[in-house]
Amino acid sequence: MLRLKGKRALVTGSGQGLGEHMAHALAREGCEIVGFEVRPTLLDKATADLRKKGFCANGHLVDVRDFRAVHDAVEKVYCESGPVDFLVNNAGKGQREPFHKLTRDVWDYMLDVNLTSVFNLCHAIVPRMLARQEAGRIINIASLAATSGGRVLGKSAYAAAKGGVIALTKSLAIELAPHGITVNCISPGVHNTPRRAHDSPEEQQLIMDNIPMKSLGEPADLAETVVFLCLPSSRYITGVILPQDGGHSI
């Protein structure tokens, strides 16, 4: 069933991990994929992998922290491919510095890559969605850390940035609802991605102790939630902050 056939999805951070899974899940439903990625090798591989499976996909090398670069890349997408129906703001990065060691450079980087990037993409896409006068979908990816502060120490800047994503989601949802554009946010817990290889045994145990389901989330499941929020059946859902964390936030 190609439930999203004829639609186009822009996914940031599409080169690996959660973003790559999201791109493939949307493609399987018939979406044309536009990937924004800052790492050229990952971008080329991810785009090639989608095309090998017969999906329509294009990749753009973009630093989503760069306001002008994002606007230029979005303009190129609209000129070469066409309008974007679904925007998935997935790009982001974690942080592990205790607050008393946190530098201004790290603070600025965390806000830029996790929050300002969302602003940049929305600033470029929203006016175009409004101009089309058709329903659009914006899906932002926050984090359990935004509401819990992060159970693993050293997440202050990351948690603050992702908290901003939640606030921006709610504000945009209110503003865009009269125009049929929904804005929702998924707040993942700890998922089984390559980043987990950097966890110490103590951190792994702490994570498991705090997850009632006693297992990590699977990226494929998170990707299917993104698909759900793009389906026609979710047209009346907006401003939702959806935890997907195995009960971690209870």
Q: What is the DSSP string of 11-55?
A: EETTTSHHHHHHHHHHHHTT-EEEEEES-HHHHHHHHHHHHHTT-
234: which DSSP letter?
G
Closest CA to 140 of 184, 110, 180, 182: 184
Catalytic entry in 78, 109, 158, 236: 158
Reply yes or no on whether 158 is catalytic: yes
Do the Cβ atoms of 231 and 175 come closer than 8 Å? no
Q: What angle do CA 141, 104, 114 make, to 5 degrees?
A: 10
Q: Measured between alpha carbons, how far is 228 from 39 in angstroms, rounded to an integer?
A: 28
3 state SS of 199: coil
Q: What angle do CA 91, 112, 14 make, to 5 degrees?
A: 15
The 10 Å Cβ neighbour count of residue 234 is 15
Expressed in angstroms, the distance from the first to the final Cα of the chain is: 35
Residues designated as active site? 158
